Amino acid sequence: MSSLKSAANLHISANASACAGDLCNFIIEKSNEAIKKNGFFRVGLSGGSLVKFLSEELPKKNIEWSKWKIFFCDERHVPEDHPECTFTLYDKSLFSKVGIPKENVFKNDSNLTVEQAAERYEKLIKEEFETDSPRFDMLLLGMGPDGHTCSLFPNHQLLNVKDKIVAFIKDSPKPPPERITLTMPILLNCDNAVFCSCGDGKKEMVKEVLENQNMDFPAARVQPVKGSLHWFMDKGAAGLLSNI
Ligand SMILES: O=C1O[C@H](COP(=O)(O)O)[C@@H](O)[C@H](O)[C@H]1O
């Protein structure tokens, strides 16, 4: 079996800040293509380190924000004034700075139970895409040192969900425990699945995922069926990959 490393497009930068710059240039190129083709760019954002990368670079660029429709790949199910609320982290560091219209951001409703919130978010996505099989232009993904992506964790039953595009989790191994997340079927049905992973702390897992293609780890399972897979990394995260 050839490794995921050869199927994926690898983008390796000297350090994390160069990686953020390269990632954002790529996002803009793809967003312009989507806007030219469809009139808008529909993108899913992840939390974690990606918030900082995007918030540092995107405000410097000339972007038609009114044409972006922003969703979340996963969200911590916490009130908006909670320090770990993914939407609020983006709102403070990016959305409020670039003046993106509020109606272009599709966020979680933390006033609901987490079960209701997942059901509502799935309905919202399907309505916005006007189909039961939504296909994002781009999903921006992170990978934890344990190989999780979105809120899909190794050995967790959510990995096997096939009949939903958004699921809830109440026992996330990484706090906070309650989250909503896109599921594997929708991750596989996108135009561009784009990972960003930086730092030495990720290098063992990057090797497991990209070189050993170890399917125990959720990030390794993200191989879009008809779309492209991109991995943006710095030299630290790519440090154990051979022949690069
Ligand atoms: O908990 C989460 O972690 C992953 C990975 O985050 P990172 O800080 O290691 O890049 C993130 O992609 C996900 O959205 C988040 O909920």
- Reported CATH class of domain 4-234: alpha beta
> What's the confidence (pLDDT) of residue 2?
64
Mean pLDDT of 161-166: 97
Ligand 1 centroid to Cα of residue 174, in Å, is 9
Ligand 1: does its nearest atom lie under 6 Å from the Cβ of 183?
no
3-state secondary structure of 217: coil
97 Cβ closer than 6 Å to some ligand 1 atom = no
Q: Is the pLDDT assigned to residue 3 strictly greater than 90? A: no
Residue with CA at minimum distance from ligand 1 atom 7: 48
Please report the pLDDT score of residue 208 as a whole number. Answer: 97
pLDDT digits (tens, 9 = 90+) for 82-130: 999 999 999 999 999 998 999 999 999 999 999 999 999 999 999 999 9
* 47 within ligand 1 shell (Cβ under 6 A): yes
In this prediction, residue 244 carries a pLDDT of 79
Amino acid at 172: S
- pLDDT above 80 for 4: yes
Q: Indicate whether residue 192 lines ligand 1 (CB < 6 A).
A: no
Give just the sign of the alpha carbon dihedral 103, 106, 110, 116.
positive
In the predicted model, what is the mean pLDDT of residues 136-145?
Answer: 98
Please give the C-alpha separations between residue 154 and each of 11, 35, 75, 143, 221, in angstroms, as whole numbers: 25, 36, 18, 12, 11
**What confidence tier does 1 reach under pLDDT thresholds 50, 70, 90?**
low
Task: Report the amino acid identity of residue 131.
Answer: T
- Tokens standing for residue 96: 């409020």
Atom of ligand 1 at shortest range from CA of 73: 14
110 lines ligand 1 (CB under 6 A): no
The whole-angstrom separation of Cα 89 and Cα 46 is: 11
* Model confidence pTM above 0.90: yes
Mapping DSSP to helix (H, G, I), strand (E, B) and coil, where does residue 179 land? strand
- Which DSSP helix (H) or strand (E) runs through 26? helix 16-38
Closest alpha carbon to 75 in 53, 90, 65, 57: 90
Which residues are CB-neighbours of 25 under 8 A, at least 6 positions away?
none
Read off the DSSP letter of residue 102: G
In short, whether 82's Cβ falls inside 6 Å of ligand 1 is: no
